[in-house]
A and B are shown apart, each in its own frame.
Chain A
Amino acid sequence: MSSHVKRRLVLGGLMLVIIIVLTLINPVFLTMGNIQKMLQEAAQTGIVAIGFTLVMITAGIDMSIGAIIAITSMVSINFLTYTKLPVFAFVPVTLLVGVFAGLFNGFFITRFKLPEFIVTLATKGILSGLALVIAVKDSMGFVQNVYIQNDSYLWFGSQTFGGIYRTTIAFLLLGIATQFFLKNTKTGNNIYATGANPGAARLTGIDTDRVVVGVYMFSGLTASISAIFISSRMMTAMPELGLGSEMDVIASVVIGGTSFSGGYGDIWGTMMGAVFLALIKNGILKLGISPWVQPIVIGGLIVVTVIIDVWQKKLGEAIRTRARLRKIGPTAKAA
């Protein structure tokens, strides 16, 4: 418990230092507008990361989230271009795209006992191809950039009171709800148990396969939700939208303290991780450094965090063994 509280404090402190330094260098950084933009960016990644966190707690990984964002936004664009359906009617359908993708992942992982990485990577390939296939084309057959003019659809990505983006609010609400769900329901407990010790979980009567299918469906759902917000905010969508976003999402979750080996982590951490990442990315821009540096920094951050986590665990173990040795020492001599 204490170790991950400490971790939060360190992360929070680090964020504070970064904010202060950046503000001193470039005062634009701390303006309301920039903060809103930063939070909105954190929210776009963060919404996906919330679903991804659940997958990682079960010791899985979902490489298909980027492609789910792509296919979901293409489905939306098709509805907007070719139908007169109201937004409230087709958005639920687009969200189902992600849920089905997750079901597909979960089904192959549990039924055929395939590695998560391979299944979701295959899904990624399938869905990103499908996104291109269903993209709106011009008469020459080239993918057309459709500008979204539907006001109700644009509502999602727009700002509300105090200039706060609705994406940010959605991120906050979804985060709170998911955290509560994880920590206060049976299903939440089962998710942790499945990741930490699947054998013991099954023995206690938990249907771990159902849990696994469930988390991939949820991960697909959050990716689809994010797709709506991103496309609405950009007022357009390309079939490449979201591809490559796995990296930011994984970085957020890992920086937030969720363990790759499963069983540990929560949504608070992931939300902090997403904000931290947005801060770093925004900082790079505000310092006038080329945006191409961003992925380099993010990749580096993932490695550094994982190293710290592994060290921490080893250090804790070493301390514990040493304490035990002190206890065993005299008894062994007496014997």
Chain B
Amino acid sequence: MDVQSRGMQGEARSREILLSCKGIVKSYNGPIVLDHVDFSVYRGEVHSLVGENGAGKSTLIKIITGATNRNEGDIIFDGKPIPLEFSRRDAQAAGIACIYQELSLIPGMTVAQNIFLGKEPLMRGVRIIDKKAMNRMAQDLIDRYQFPLKATTIIDDLSIAHRQLAEILKALSDKASLMIMDEPTSSLTRTEVEMLFKIIHMLRDQNISVLYVSHRMEEVYHLSDRVTVLRDGKLVDVLERDRISPAEIIRLMIGHKLEEKAVHHRLVPKNGPVVLEVRNITSLGKFEDISFDLHEGEILGIGGLVGAGRTELVRALYGIDPIDAGTVRYLGKPYVPSVQKAIASGIGFIPEERRRQGILPTQTIRTNIAITNLDVIAPRHVTSRKREQELAMDGIKVCNVKPADPLHLVGNLSGGNQQKVVLAKWLVRNLRLLFIDEPTVGIDIGAKEEIYEHIQRLAASGVSIILVSSDLPELTRLSDRVLVLRKGRIIKEFKDCVLTGEKILRAASGITEEVEDEA
């Protein structure tokens, strides 16, 4: 896209400040998530907020929309100061709307009913909804903004993209002056994304501000009038229109500080025998034509943006989701992934979202460790308490779980110790291959280091590991080789070279080598 179609130049817009945040501080019982952040949005601009995972973007959004409250700092919206105690309803009333993916719509109701929920037009004198008037008013609103919608369509019959439009309409009817869109394109097709962009431009022309949060650099580049970059809870820079380029944004997001330390990592190839041989596997709509070899004792990192198909890939290889095409060979033999077979033949899986997929929070450490190892504990279908206890003590010792009490409920452990229990479940087995998805989300640094050590020790003992992570220092530090996925395909392989987080992020964002050389 050329510069002309990238919207109006900053100078042409008014510079009236709609939202101004000064010195915002937020901490969730201890660690500081936002450290004196200044942030402002002009009236009628598209403003992007970018940063790595954990940079504080979502916390800032939550504070602005009233989903959580700040500890310190001043916010002025539309000329009025926003109090410290500020709810989502207050935010809506003030004119701040957040466009979720279908989250705030009522299924089963029509577009018109959703737009007018809570403010339905009534017939004269009676408390009966004037449906005709309601549908007409909704259709007028739709026509005014030329949305491809019908007032009488039921929400359930709309695609996700069209549901978003219905949400935008609802916000417009509430006279919102700031619309926040958090990763709005993550499940849209290309044509749907174009439609959304057209509407964002239209909103801007109506003098409505759009606060856009996305990992996708090309979208940020095409849409934004200004970009605010956060890193580690601090404001890094605010880029004006003429300074916005994907390479520059990534440079600011990663920062130089980190580059000197962990992010710098030399990849050394491991050439042991091939454990897993993946050829041209495809899962419709998730990933396509993926091929790679995994060697003994190798840690293969998988990088990419959220939604690039990383989690889907490991889930399919572990046998949770089906593979539509392609072949897999495990230890030299043809292999059709299934969970039961995987467990029986030394393959383990540590899923993302440990609370939902990894642990049974209401059960003890012992039970949690036992549950994946019933084949060992109960070879004849009756569990042996003694074996269970031995295994649990083993796991606790190996992974240094605290407290070292097998009868402690896992739900009461800290995040780091919960993850150690998940790790322990697999470490007490004879593993050949382990899939790990986002192992250190929400874990403090000390526990992180311990988990890294376990992973490395595991690899040193000959276990092959596939590691999915959005944490770039983690990925560069642990991996022997890195594959970067983009839109379901392998876009880049890093091996036998010096790897930085920036390189991964550039590849994941689809920035080609030419641009890289230019920068």
CB neighbours (8 Å) of A321 from chain B are 285
In B84-136, which residues have CB < 8 Å from any A CB?
88-89, 92, 103-109, 113, 117-118, 120, 122, 127-129, 131
Output the nearest chain A residue to B100 by Cβ-Cβ distance: A200
- Check A189–B487 contact: CB distance below 8 A: no
Assess the A205–B105 pair: CB atoms within 8 A.
no
Q: How far is the CB of A84 from chain B (nearest CB, A)?
A: 40
Which A185-210 residues sit within 8 Å CB-CB of chain B? 185-186, 189, 192-193, 196-197, 199-201, 203-206
User: B280 on the interface (CB 8 Å rule)?
Assistant: no
In the assembled complex, the Cα of A201 lies from the Cα of B108 at a distance in Å of 13
With A192-B109, A200-B105, A263-B107 as known contacts, state yes or no: A185 contacts B285, CB within 8 Å: no
Among the 9-residue stretches A11-19, A66-74, A119-127, A327-335, the one with 4 or more Cβ atoms under 8 Å from chain B is A327-335
- Chain A proximity of B66: nearest CB distance (Å): 10
Contact of B117 among A193, A331, A332 (CB under 8 A): A193
A324 and B191 alpha carbons, distance in the complex (Å): 12
Q: How large is the interface on B (under 10, 10 to 19, 20 to 34, 35 or more residues)?
A: 20 to 34
Which of B104, B109, B488 has a CB less than 8 Å from the CB of A332?
A: B488
**CB-CB contacts below 8 Å: B120-157 with A:** 120, 122, 127-129, 131, 154, 157
B residues within 8 A CB of A200? 103-106
Q: Is A177 an interface residue (CB 8 A)?
A: no
Are B129 and A189 interface neighbours, CB within 8 A?
yes
- B residues in contact with A205, CB < 8 Å: 89, 118
Give complex CA distance A205, B159 in Å.
Answer: 26
CA distance A193 to B109 in the complex (A): 8
CA of A321 to CA of B160 in the docked complex: distance in angstroms? 11
Q: B156-186 vs A: 1/0 string, CB under 8 Å?
A: 0101000000000000000000000000000
User: Quick check: is B189 within 8 A (CB to CB) of the other chain?
Assistant: yes
| CB pair B107 A206 closer than 8 Å | no
Contact A192 B106, beta carbon cutoff 8 Å: yes
Contact B108 A196 (CB under 8 A): yes
> With an 8 A cutoff between CB atoms, is A325 at the interface?
yes
Q: Is B284 an interface residue (CB 8 A)?
A: yes
Q: What is the minimal beta-carbon distance from A156 to any residue of chain B, in angstroms?
A: 30
Compute how far the CA of A264 lies from the CA of B107 in the bound complex, rounded to whole angstroms. Answer: 9
Looking across the interface, which residue of chain B has its beta carbon closest to that of A204? B118
| Interface pair A196/B189, CB less than 8 Å apart | no
Cβ of B453 to closest chain A Cβ, rounded Å: 38
Cβ contact within 8 Å between B487 and A332? yes
Question: Quick check: A324 and B117 within 8 Å, CB to CB?
Answer: no
Q: How far is the CB of B462 from chain A (nearest CB, A)?
A: 37
Contact B109 A196 (CB under 8 A): yes
C-alpha gap A335/B154 in the complex (Å) = 33
B333 at the interface (CB under 8 A from A): no
B108 touches A184 (CB 8 A): no
When distances are taken between beta carbons in the complex, the residues of chain A under 8 Å from B388 are none
Q: With A186-B129, A203-B92, A332-B488 known to touch, is A197 a contact of B106 (CB < 8 Å)? A: yes
Contact partners of B104 in chain A: CB under 8 A: 197, 199-200, 203
Tell me, in angstroms, the Cα distance from A328 to B113 when the chains sit together.
30
Residue of B120, B157, B189 near A328 (CB, 8 A) is: B189
Q: Compute how far the CA of A70 lies from the CA of B215 in the bound complex, rounded to whole angstroms.
A: 62
Q: Interface of chain A, helix or strand or loop or mixed?
A: helix
Q: Is A140 an interface residue (CB 8 A)?
A: no
* A328 to B487 Cα, complex, angstroms: 11
Which residues of chain A come closer than 8 Å to B288, judged between CB atoms?
A: 332-333
B190 interface residue (CB < 8 Å to A):
yes
Residues of chain B within 8 A (CB-CB) of A296 are: none
Task: Give Cα A205 to B174, complex, Å.
Answer: 13
A335 contact from B117, B127, B285, B487, Cβ within 8 A: B487
- Chain A contacts with B in 310-335, Cβ cutoff 8 A: 321, 324-325, 327-329, 331-333, 335
Closest to B510 in A: A335
Cβ contact of A201, chosen from B106, B127, B157, cutoff 8 A? B106
Shortest distance between the CB of A82 and any CB in chain B (Å): 41
A331 to B154, CA, bound (A): 28
| CA gap between A283 and B517 in the complex, in Å | 82
With A1-B154, A192-B106, A200-B104: A325-B284 Cβ-Cβ less than 8 Å: yes
B190 touches A331 (CB 8 A): yes
CB of B189 within 8 A of CB of A193, answer no
Contact assessment for B120 and A197 in the assembled complex, using a CB-CB cutoff below 8 Å: no
On whether the beta carbons of A203 and B89 are closer than 8 Å, the reply is yes
Nearest Cβ in chain A — how far from B452, in angstroms? 34
Nearest A residue to B284 via CB reads A325
Inter-subunit contact B120/A189 (CB<8 Å): yes
Cα A335 to Cα B284 with chains together (Å): 15
Asked whether, in the complex, the Cβ of A184 is within 8 Å of the Cβ of B285, the reply is no
As a 0/1 sequence over residues 187 to 217 of chain B, the CB contacts with chain A under 8 angstroms (1 = contact) are 0011100000000000000000000000000
Interface centre among B107, B127, B288, B487 (most CB of A within 10 A): B107
CA distance A184 to B154 in the complex (A): 16
Distance from B502 Cβ to chain A, minimum over Cβ atoms (Å): 22
B301-350 with Cβ < 8 A to chain A = none
Residue contact A328 to B108, C-beta cutoff 8 Å: no
Q: Contact: B106 with A193, CB < 8 Å? A: yes
Knowing A1-B154, A331-B189 touch, does A196 contact B127 (C-beta < 8 A)? no
Q: Which of A192, A204, A327, A329 contacts B108 (CB 8 A)?
A: A192
Report how far A200 CA is from B129 CA in the complex, Å.
Answer: 20
Contact across chains for A189 and B285 when beta carbons are under 8 A apart? no
Partner of A324, one of B113, B120, B189: B189
Interface centre among A196, A204, A206, A325 (most CB of B within 10 A): A204
Complex Cα–Cα for A328 and B309 (A): 14
Bitwise, B425-447 to A at CB < 8 A (1) or not (0) is 00000000000000000000000
Given A189-B113, A324-B189, A203 contacting B106 (CB threshold 8 A): no
Smallest distance from the beta carbon of B138 to chain A beta carbons, Å? 14
Residues on A with beta carbons closer than 8 Å to the beta carbon of B105: 197, 200
**Closest chain A CB from B329 CB (angstroms):** 26
Given contacts A263-B107, A324-B285, contact A184 B117 (CB under 8 A): no
Bound-state CA distance A192–B127 (Å) is 17
| Known contacts A184-B129, A197-B106; is-contact A204 B117 (Cβ 8 Å) | yes
Closest to B285 in A: A325
Which of A186, A204, A325 is close to B127, meaning CB atoms less than 8 Å apart? A186
The 3 closest A-B pairs by CB, nearest first: A204-B118, A200-B104, A331-B190
Can you name 25 A-B pairs with beta carbons within 8 Å? A1-B157, A189-B117, A189-B129, A193-B117, A196-B106, A196-B107, A196-B109, A197-B105, A197-B107, A199-B103, A199-B104, A203-B88, A203-B89, A204-B117, A204-B118, A205-B89, A206-B117, A263-B107, A321-B285, A324-B189, A325-B284, A325-B285, A327-B189, A332-B487, A335-B487
Identify the B interface with A (CB < 8 A).
88-89, 92, 103-109, 113, 117-118, 120, 122, 127-129, 131, 154, 157, 159, 189-191, 284-285, 288, 486-489
Q: Which residues of A contact B (CB under 8 A)?
A: 1, 184-186, 189, 192-193, 196-197, 199-201, 203-206, 263-264, 321, 324-325, 327-329, 331-333, 335
Seed contacts A184-B129, A199-B103, A201-B117; 18 additional CB < 8 Å A-B pairs: A184-B128, A184-B131, A185-B129, A186-B118, A186-B122, A186-B127, A189-B120, A192-B106, A192-B108, A196-B106, A197-B106, A201-B106, A204-B117, A324-B189, A327-B191, A331-B191, A332-B487, A333-B288
